[in-house]
Structure 1
Amino acid sequence: MEAIENRSDSRSIFIAASPAQVFAAMNDPARVARWWGPDGFRNTIHEFDFRAGGIWLLTMHGPDGKDYPNESRFTRIVTDELFEIEHFSGHHFILSIELRPFEQGTQIHWRQTFDTAEHYAGIAQFVANANAQNLQRLAAEVLHTGNAA
């Protein structure tokens, strides 16, 4: 199998909130619907069974007017530490989001791993931009709540 570094988009962001406050924005489907996806997208969540093995079904509504159905399965969840899904619709990937306490907040480590380096290379620029926007939207959601978790 190809090295994970050759088939993954990895990035991190610091949010001035505790891991529990960040995790609260990741385990509440109403909040996830507000921040999930790149800029201009909105979401309808149909199912959000937030447990290892649970199903997550959503429709992303793009700024282009198109609907993008998504199906994922939660593979690992560790309260206030880790959120991991396997995404099945369209592009197959594993997304791991790790929360690490850091000084007066949380360092978030995001890694989206595709099956092959070739697959990833074909969409790498789009994925990089979308993931950066996704993390900014997560930060805005966490900070918007006034850190009340």
Structure 2
Amino acid sequence: MTANNEADAAEMTVDREVVVSRMISAPRELVFEAFTQVRHLSRWWGPDGFSSTTRSFEFRSGGIWDFVMHGPDGTDYQEWITWQEIIPSERIELLHGAFRDDPDAFTSVLTFEPIGDQTRIVMRTVFPTRELRDEAVQRYHAIEGGEQTLGNLASYVDELVQDGAAPNAATGRE
């Protein structure tokens, strides 16, 4: 896609998207690992007060994460993510809905940018319609929830760094 086509595509989705970002004081490989391994996701995923239970998880292009988010008020939210594209340590594209083939599912693209010894994570979510985006923002507090989720990721990664669990830079393994 040329730069002009990319700009045109971005302009066409601006009224349907939510963008949140966060600087995390850790290497990109560790931030990516915390986002892509179920043993980590279950410790931080979701807005403040939420927890999750994974039913199945396969992190690969075309793979599925089937899980339930448990709200602080006791409400359970069925969730379904299909990993669409994965560029290790750099980019993840996913389709997120309440169930497989959900017509209201939205696409999120996450980028992991190294900046010195930190990582900027940007989550750009595009909804199928402006109305679905507005509902997500107004009814489900998507912006605050996204910011809290990335904040929870940052706190969790900070714990990993403090505990010395950062991956070995040479091997990428703990």
TM bracket, shorter-chain basis: over 0.9
| 2:32 paired residue number | 23
Deviation at 1:69, TM superposition (A): 1.2
1:81-131 CA distances to partner (integer Å, 9 max, x unpaired)? 112210121741011110011122111111111001122122224101100
Q: Choose from 86, 90, 97 the match for 2:110.
A: 97
Amino acid at match of 2:146: N
| 1:6 paired residue number | 15
Deviation at 1:6, TM superposition (A): 0.9
The one of the two structures with greater contact order (alpha-carbon pairs below 8 A, sep at least 6) is 1
Query: Whole-Å Cα distance in 1 between the matches of residues 150 and 117 of structure 2?
Result: 18
Confirm or deny that 1:145 pairs with 2:173.
Answer: no
Q: Choose from 98, 121, 135 the match for 1:122.
A: 135
Amino acid at match of 1:105: Q
Confirm or deny that 1:109 pairs with 2:127.
Answer: no
1:48-80 CA distances to partner (integer Å, 9 max, x unpaired)? 110000011001111111111111210011110
Confirm or deny that 1:82 pairs with 2:91.
Answer: yes
| 1:48 paired residue number | 57
Of stretches 23-32 and 88-97 in structure 1, the one that deviates more from structure 2 is 88-97
Query: Whole-Å Cα distance in 1 between the matches of residues 85 and 158 of structure 2?
Result: 25
Higher helix share: 2
**TM-score, with structure 2 as normaliser:** 0.80
User: Aligned in 2, Cα 1:142/1:11: closer, same or farther, shift over 3 Å?
Assistant: same
Confirm or deny that 1:132 pairs with 2:141.
Answer: no
Give runs of ≥4 in structure 1 deviating > 4 Å: none
Of stretches 126-135 and 28-37 in structure 1, the one that deviates more from structure 2 is 28-37
Deviation at 1:10, TM superposition (A): 0.5
Query: Whole-Å Cα distance in 2 between the matches of residues 136 and 27 of structure 1?
Result: 16
What is the root-mean-square deviation in Å for CA atoms of aligned residues?
Answer: 1.6
- The gaps in structure 1 that reach 5 residues or longer are none
Give me the identity figure in percent.
34
1:21-64 CA distances to partner (integer Å, 9 max, x unpaired)? 10110121021011111110001111111000001100111111
Higher strand share: 1
| 2:41 paired residue number | 32
**TM-score, with structure 1 as normaliser:** 0.93
